[in-house]
Amino acid sequence: MRKKTPKALALSSAMVALSAIPAQHARAASGNIDIDAVVVTSGLFVLQNQALNFGTFTDTGGGGTVAVDTAGVPTYGGVNAIASSTPTEGIVQIKGNAGKNVIVSVTNPTFTVSNGTSTMKVTKFDINTNGAGSTNTLNMTAASILVPVGATLTVGAIQPVGTYTGSFTVQVIYQ
């Protein structure tokens, strides 16, 4: 008879121990799992369709205002319009879900336009209709709508000559 090594003893003991475990029957279980899906409103997109343009004018020395309404019609006070200039209302294109209401607002009621270190203030924003103010609730009558924006530019006394530029932010939120 051959003498078993410790490794061979351990292996045969494990085989004996494994064969001593009774076979168990296979078991199965099942259960229901809920499924959730949430469809959210599509994103909103705000694009500039047309810049708000106060046109070209001359300062009479005492300052004044140029107001452009939501139809692009200018009103001058204390400044003289240049006939070849055509002011325009700003137009924002909003893309979203047709039929939804949106709150459209100019995020700051006072913006500054500048030419180097010289500045002028833009205030009294109207969204969509004259007198509406800087916040207005609108219905998305289509997946894309155009919204006019008017405002007033304040020209300082002896305003330095030049082209003044700037931008303002329009925010749109589903209601």
Residue ranges of the chain with per-residue pLDDT less than 50: 8-20
- Rounded Cα distance between 143 and 111, Å, is 29
- Rounded Cα distance between 80 and 64, Å, is 10
Q: What is the pLDDT of residue 84?
A: 83
Q: What is the pLDDT of residue 12?
A: 44
- Rounded Cα distance between 25 and 9, Å, is 30
pLDDT tens for 145-171 read 999 999 999 999 999 999 999 999 999
Q: What is the pLDDT of residue 108?
A: 87
Q: Give the HSE-up count for residue 62: Cα atoms under 13 Å, Cβ half-sphere.
A: 4
Domain boundaries 48-174, corresponding CATH code = 2.60.40
